[in-house]
C-alpha cells in the first residue's frame, strides 16, 4: 500500500480530488485541507468515506486532519509517507520539498498559478469573451486554473477589450448560491486586503485600471472584477494575485 499525503494551505479542494483519485488506486490517502476551511475538509471526507464503505472498502483509506502548519510539517517529515502532494505558494512549496527530499521522499507540487489565454486574430470574439469571463471571474479568481493574463493579437485587441468591458458591466455580484450570480466574495479578509495591496502595486508599476479595482462596501469580502492594461514586463504580472484581476496585453506575430 502506498500512502499519499495531500496538503493545502489554500482552499483548493479541487486539487485534492485530482490527486486523491490517483492515489486511491494505489493505496490510501492522508490529507490536510486548508486551515480556514475545516468544515469543507470534514464534509468532503465523510462523503468519500461513505462511498468507500458502500463498496466494501475501509473508510479509513481516506483520512483527514484539520489544523495549521504544524500538521503540514509533521506530514512532510513522516517517513511512512513516501509521496507528499502540496498546494500553496512557491515559497512554502520549496520548504516542503526540501524537508521531504531529506528523507528521500517524493513531492507532487502545485504552486502559484498565473495562467494565460492567447487570442489570435482569427478567433471568434464572442467565444473568447465568454470563456475569459468565466475563467477570470468565476470563483472570484481563486482557482489555480484562473485566467490572469489575456494576450491579444494587436489587430483585435481593442475589439476584444471593448466587448469584454461591456460584459463585465453585466456581472451579478453577491451570494454565489443564488441563481445568476457569477462573482461571490473573496475567501477571507486577508484575501481582500491582498487584493487592495495588489491594486496599489499595479498602479505603482504603470498599470491602467480599465474597470473595477475597488472593494465593494459590504459585510462580506466582496471586490469588483478588475481588468488592467499593463506592460508584460511589470513585476506584478509575474506574480499570482489571488482574486478576480485580469491583465490584458497586446502582441504581434513576428515575420521572417
Mean pLDDT of 184-199: 92
For the chain, report the end-to-end CA distance as a whole number of angstroms: 56
50, pLDDT greater than 50:
yes
pLDDT of 187 reads: 87
14, pLDDT greater than 80:
no
Residues 120 and 244 in one domain: yes
Higher per-residue confidence, 230 vs 25: 230
d(CA 89, CA 112): 5
Residue-range definition of the domain harbouring residue 37: 2-111
Mean pLDDT of 80-99: 86
Residues 126 and 242 in one domain: yes
Residues belonging to the active site: 110, 144
* H or E stretch at 76: helix 69-77
Residue-wise pLDDT for 23-38, tens only, equals 788 778 888 888 888 8
The predicted model scores a pTM of: 0.79
Residues 98 and 134 in one domain: no
Residue 4: pLDDT band by 50, 70, 90 thresholds?
A: low
Residues 124 and 247 in one domain: yes
Query: Is 139 within the bounds of a domain?
Result: yes
Number of domains in the chain: 2
Task: For the chain, give the mean pLDDT.
Answer: 87
Task: Give a three-class secondary structure readout of 126-150.
Answer: HHHHHHHHHHHHHHHHCCCCCEEEE
9, pLDDT greater than 60:
no
Residues 35 and 98 in one domain: yes
Residues 88 and 150 in one domain: no
Residue 97: pLDDT band by 50, 70, 90 thresholds?
A: very high
188, pLDDT greater than 50:
yes
Domain boundary (111, 134, 166) is at 111
Residues 78 and 123 in one domain: no
Amino acid at each position: 500500500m502506498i500512502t499519499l499525503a495531500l496538503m493545502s494551505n489554500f482552499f483548493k479542494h479541487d486539487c485534492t480530488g485530482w490527486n486523491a483519485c490517483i492515489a486511491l488506486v494505489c493505496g490510501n490517502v492522508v490529507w490536510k485541507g486548508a486551515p480556514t476551511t475545516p468544515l469543507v475538509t470534514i464534509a468532503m471526507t465523510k462523503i468519500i468515506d461513505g462511498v468507500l464503505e458502500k463498496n466494501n472498502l475501509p473508510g479509513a483509506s481516506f483520512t483527514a486532519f484539520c489544523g495549521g502548519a504544524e500538521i503540514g510539517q509533521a506530514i512532510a517529515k513522516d517517513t511512512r509517507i513516501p509521496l507528499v502532494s502540496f498546494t500553496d505558494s512557491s515559497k512554502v512549496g520549496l520548504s516542503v520539498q526540501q524537508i521531504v527530499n531529506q528523507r528521500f521522499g517524493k513531492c507532487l507540487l502545485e504552486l502559484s498559478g498565473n495562467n494565460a489565454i492567447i487570442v489570435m486574430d482569427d478567433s471568434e470574439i464572442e467565444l473568447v469573451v465568454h470563456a475569459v469571463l468565466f475563467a477570470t471571474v468565476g470563483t472570484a479568481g481563486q482557482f489555480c486554473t484562473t485566467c490572469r493574463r489575456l494576450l491579444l493579437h494587436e489587430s483585435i485587441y481593442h475589439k476584444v477589450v471593448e466587448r469584454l468591458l461591456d460584459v463585465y458591466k453585466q456581472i451579478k455580484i453577491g451570494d454565489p448560491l443564488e441563481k445568476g450570480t457569477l462573482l461571490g466574495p473573496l475567501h477571507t479578509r486577508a484575501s481582500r486586503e491582498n487584493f487592495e495591496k495588489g491594486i496599489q502595486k499595479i498602479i505603482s508599476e504603470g498599470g491602467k485600471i480599465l474597470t473595477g479595482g475597488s472593494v465593494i462596501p459590504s459585510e462580506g469580502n466582496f471586490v469588483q472584477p478588475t481588468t488592467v492594461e499593463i506592460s508584460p514586463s511589470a513585476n506584478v504580472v509575474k506574480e499570482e494575485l489571488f482574486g478576480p484581476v485580469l491583465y490584458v496585453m497586446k502582441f504581434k506575430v513576428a515575420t521572417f
